Amino acid sequence: MKRVAYEEMVNEFARVLAARGFSAEDARAAAEIFAQNSLAGVYSHGLNRFPRLVSYLEKGVIDPKVRASCVQSFGNMERWDGHRGFGPLNAQRAMSRACELAKAHGIGLVALGNNNHWMRGGTYGWQAAEEGCIGICWTNTMPNMPAWGAKDCRIGNNPIVMAIPRSNGEHVVVDCAVSQFSYGKIESHRLSGQQLPVPGGYNQDGELTTDPGQIEQTWRVLPMGYWKGSGLSILMDLMATILSGGNSVADVGSFGDEVGVTQIMIAIDPAKFNTAEETDAIAQRILEDVKASEPVAEGGEVFYPGERSYKSMQDNMQNGIPVVEEIWNSVLNM
């Protein structure tokens, strides 16, 4: 598989975005977010998603010049309006503000309504951890998952992220949709010709399947934990909509495209209780115990959340980022 240097990918993304209305500064920042997603091995939300972003820009769905702004403030809580601007940069700024509030008050919350797709939610968990903060964030989506016991899609797979900082940069980060697999993961398996490791949704006969193409035909993805994932989805949508005053999953479903979504950014400063060394020691003790587990497969390894992403970042920075040549060539030709 072809590999592309990280800096080359950033430069190409920035070139394309600058030609479509981004300022030079914002084009670079947005390009870094997409390239870092691929760097971390989340290709579905990096290079593979980039052409879709460009199509949204060309259709005028996203205005690259508008920025999220604070509309209400209550101490360590703020409500922001994203003005349907570029989702990742709005989300990045909202998490940055949540971290500022956490450094001042111990905990900070920014409820970001009327934003657009944030791409990889893990971006903002890593961002909070890099600031030395515990990060919790989630987004709602268009209706793309059936509630448990239903056939039609009325709830979102509403990705949620949690992050614990470590001084060595090897942060602990969970980034997951509340469906068994995100649509991005399903798409990446289809593109690579792979079956899902466990059933991820239903085929046209209403049967559970590991075939990503069949799931894409029905849009009937499986909530993680069955009824538990369904319940989480509904509660997260309720909390996000109540706090932001923004759009619910049902509202987003009426727009035609997945725009105007609602996101919650929470940052907590553990330094209010512990030194960085104490937090590191707690994390190290717990993670060492987890990694001492007996693997199911002989010679296998048990990973903590975020460990493989960190290893991918190290490998891809040194050896180049693997790309689907057809998609990479389409970016070069934009």
Asked if residues 302 and 291 have their Cβ atoms less than 8 Å apart, the reply is yes
Select from 30, 34, 7, 5 the least CA-distant residue to 17.
Answer: 30
Select from 121, 125, 137 the least CA-distant residue to 165.
Answer: 125
Per-residue HEC secondary structure of 115-146 comes to ECCCCCCHHHHHHHHHCCCEEEEEECCCCCEE
Q: Kind of pairing, strands 77-81 and 107-115?
A: parallel
> Helix, strand or coil for residue 4?
strand
Quick count: other Cβ atoms within 10 Å of Cβ 216?
14
Active site annotation includes 45:
yes
The residue annotated as part of the active site, out of 45, 117, 171, 189, is 45
For 176, 184, 190, 206, the CA distances from 210, given in Å and listed in that order, are: 18, 15, 11, 13
* Active site residue ranges: 45
